[in-house]
Amino acid sequence: MISGQCLTGDDVPTMMNPMSRKSLTNARFNFALDSLKNIALIESKDNIFFSPHSIHQALSLAYFGARGTTEDSLKRALQVPNELSKIEVQRFYALEKSLNQMRSQGNGSAGSYDYNVANKFWITNTKKLRDCMLDFFGDQLQVTDFRTNPAEVRNEINNWVSNMTKGHIRDLLSTDSITADTDLVLANAVYFKGLWANRFDAKNSKRDIFYTSSTQNSVTVFMRQKGNFHHAVSEELGAYILELPYKGDEISMFLLLPPFSITRSAQNPSNEPQDGIRQLIQRLTTEKGSQELRELLDDGLPPREVEVSLPRFELEKELPISQLLHALGAGELMTPGVADLRGFLADGEQNLHLGDAVHRARIEVTEEGTTAAAATAIFTFRSSRPTEPAIFNANHPFVYLIYNKFDNTILFVGVFRSPQPTHS
């Protein structure tokens, strides 16, 4: 057990706050929704896909070594309650890490899905680290010679990410990202592959129109099936919600489909569709909306017969993570000469700096199931009951989450706006 002095300067608390695990789980959930809100403002027209869990883990590692205002800004961005100490966050992190290791050895519920999340630091050998940090991180921390051959270190990091994501995220760090001056690279990778509990029959898939606006609609392949699914209408969120579980019933994809309408008005003279996605994300990030989503994800939706129609798609996205960190109020971490990461170092050592950060995620949704991987490096609504059977036709923009019920975590989140990625 790491000493409290290493992280906080306080004595080790005799008792852990019994509510800390619940409040930190809530904080991680709210971080995911806050990240989605900010990314949707940055990427207002394009498809979105990322892993808030990956980013949260990477920022948590930076938080453990941060001091001063950098520590304060990261604590706020991670939504850690003021009353919780860093040692309590570390205990939560260590507990989650050990649970994930146990589950990855068992490979999900009796091998029915494949899920892995891993973190690693590469830190310069020109500065002396605090011994307790080496004890704390163990094999997650690697002392590295950046100066002699930075290209070799970059290849090593990229290979680690590729291995952790089963080859789905390759060449995360570009050729010029690591130099002889690099002090610290913080990387996180997350990978998930699941088969639908109720797979779609490819024979039922057919091409149809995906409505993006009054003028630019696309034709794409829709997967279709009719069966018993958990389905609800949320007035609070203004959306139809459908759960598509993966085998093992611990992880599910949840689809949130706002209504789609094209109306001409003084505010909308071009006949463009009202942006139901923007309104949905705004509702999700209110206190009431977030609570509603938590209850729907954790307590379950009512089962009923549903006709499901969902695009088959594949997407790889790089996230503007530096912009995101600034939007979350944690931009100081990325600011040379300002970021304070001396918590990693022995007394008297000069500060470390993080040069840049990168996050890339990839998803493939097919009739059989879903493969998703991500890596972060930091350097008007009708609520009347639908006719029977319910029809859930995702033929216009929607929000989707891959949610782990086992530890109440949003692993991945996306906004599907168009079958072909558009560039704003």
Flag whether 404 is in a domain. yes
Regarding whether 270 and 175 lie in a shared domain, the answer is no
Contacts of 288 (CB under 8 A, 6+ apart): 236
Flag whether 423 is in a domain. no
Residue range(s) defining the domain that contains residue 402: 202-313+380-416
Check pLDDT > 70 for residue 302: yes
For a pLDDT cut of 90, what percent of the chain falls above it? 44
Flag whether 421 is in a domain. no
pLDDT of 384: 37
pLDDT of 141: 87
pLDDT of 76: 95
Task: Taking residues 2-28, report their average pLDDT.
Answer: 67
Regarding whether 87 and 221 lie in a shared domain, the answer is no
Check pLDDT > 60 for residue 402: yes
pLDDT of 162: 93
Distance separating alpha carbons of residues 250 and 111, to the nearest angstrom = 12
Strands 48-50 and 409-416, bridge-based pairing = antiparallel
Q: Are 418 and 212 a contacting pair, CB within 8 Å?
A: yes
Burial call 5-28: b when 16+ CB within 10 Å, e when fewer: ebbbeeeeeeeebeebbebbbbbb
SS3 sequence of the chain: CCCHHHHCCCCCCCCCCCCHHHHHHHHHHHHHHHHHHHHHHHCCCCCEEECHHHHHHHHHHHHHHCCHHHHHHHHHHCCCCCCCCHHHHHHHHHHHHHHHHHHHHHCCHHHCEEEEEEEEEEEECCCCECHHHHHHHHHHEEEECCCCCHHHHHHHHHHHHHHHCCCCCCCCCCCCCCCCCCCEEEEEEEEEEEEECCCCCHHHCEEEEECCCCCCCEEEEEEEEEEEEEEEEECCCCEEEEEEEECCCCEEEEEEECCCCECCCCCCCCCCECCHHHHHHHHHCCHHHHHHHHHHHHHCCCEEEEEEEEECEEEEEEECHHHHHHHCCCHHHHCCCCCCCHHHECCCCCCCCCCCEEEEEEEEECCCEEEEEEEEEECCCCCCCCCCCEEEECCCCEEEEEEECCCCEEEEEEEECCCCCCCC
Regarding whether 151 and 16 lie in a shared domain, the answer is yes
Sheet order of strands, 369-378 included? 141-144, 113-124, 184-195, 369-378, 357-365, 313-319
pLDDT of 274: 52
pLDDT of 423: 47
Regarding whether 207 and 175 lie in a shared domain, the answer is no
pLDDT of 355: 63
Distance separating alpha carbons of residues 323 and 326, to the nearest angstrom = 5
Flag whether 155 is in a domain. yes
Regarding whether 333 and 404 lie in a shared domain, the answer is no
Q: Give residue-wise pLDDT tens across range 265-293.
A: 445 444 444 578 989 999 999 999 999 99
Flag whether 343 is in a domain. yes
Please, how many CA atoms are within 13 Å of residue 175, restricted to the half-sphere of its CB? 0
Distance separating alpha carbons of residues 43 and 50, to the nearest angstrom = 12
Flag whether 326 is in a domain. yes
- Return the residue matching tokens 């990030």: 285
Provide the number of structural domains found in the chain: 2
Predicted model pTM: 0.89
Name, of 107-116, 254-263, 400-409, the range with top average pLDDT: 400-409
CATH number for 245: 2.30.39.10
Task: Taking residues 331-356, report their average pLDDT.
Answer: 82
Which of 152-166, 176-190, 344-358 is predicted with the least confidence, judged by mean pLDDT? 344-358
Which amino acid is located at 281 in the chain? Answer: I
pLDDT of 15: 56
pLDDT of 422: 47
Higher pLDDT, 11 or 123: 123
For a pLDDT cut of 70, what percent of the chain falls above it? 86
Task: Taking residues 136-153, report their average pLDDT.
Answer: 88
Q: Are 340 and 388 a contacting pair, CB within 8 Å?
A: no
Residue 170 binned pLDDT confidence (cut-offs 50, 70, 90): very high
Cis ω on the peptide bond leading into residue 389 (within 30° of 0)?
yes
CATH number for 109: 3.30.497.10
Task: Taking residues 154-161, report their average pLDDT.
Answer: 93
- Neighbouring C-beta atoms of residue 275, cutoff 10 Å: 17
Regarding whether 329 and 260 lie in a shared domain, the answer is no
Q: Give residue-wise pLDDT tens across range 349-401.
A: 878 777 678 888 999 999 999 998 888 887 733 333 445 678 899 999 999 99
Which amino acid is located at 194 in the chain? Answer: G
Q: Which two tokens stand for residue 181?
A: 């001056």
Flag whether 330 is in a domain. yes
Q: Give residue-wise pLDDT tens across range 73-114.
A: 999 999 999 988 888 888 888 888 787 777 666 655 556 788
Which amino acid is located at 145 in the chain? Answer: D
Regarding whether 289 and 328 lie in a shared domain, the answer is no
Regarding whether 210 and 173 lie in a shared domain, the answer is no
Q: Are 375 and 187 a contacting pair, CB within 8 Å?
A: yes
What are the two backbone dihedrals, phi and then psi, of residue 71, each rounded to the nearest 5 degrees? -65, -45
pLDDT of 213: 65
Regarding whether 323 and 303 lie in a shared domain, the answer is no
Regarding whether 331 and 238 lie in a shared domain, the answer is no
Flag whether 210 is in a domain. yes
Regarding whether 284 and 359 lie in a shared domain, the answer is no
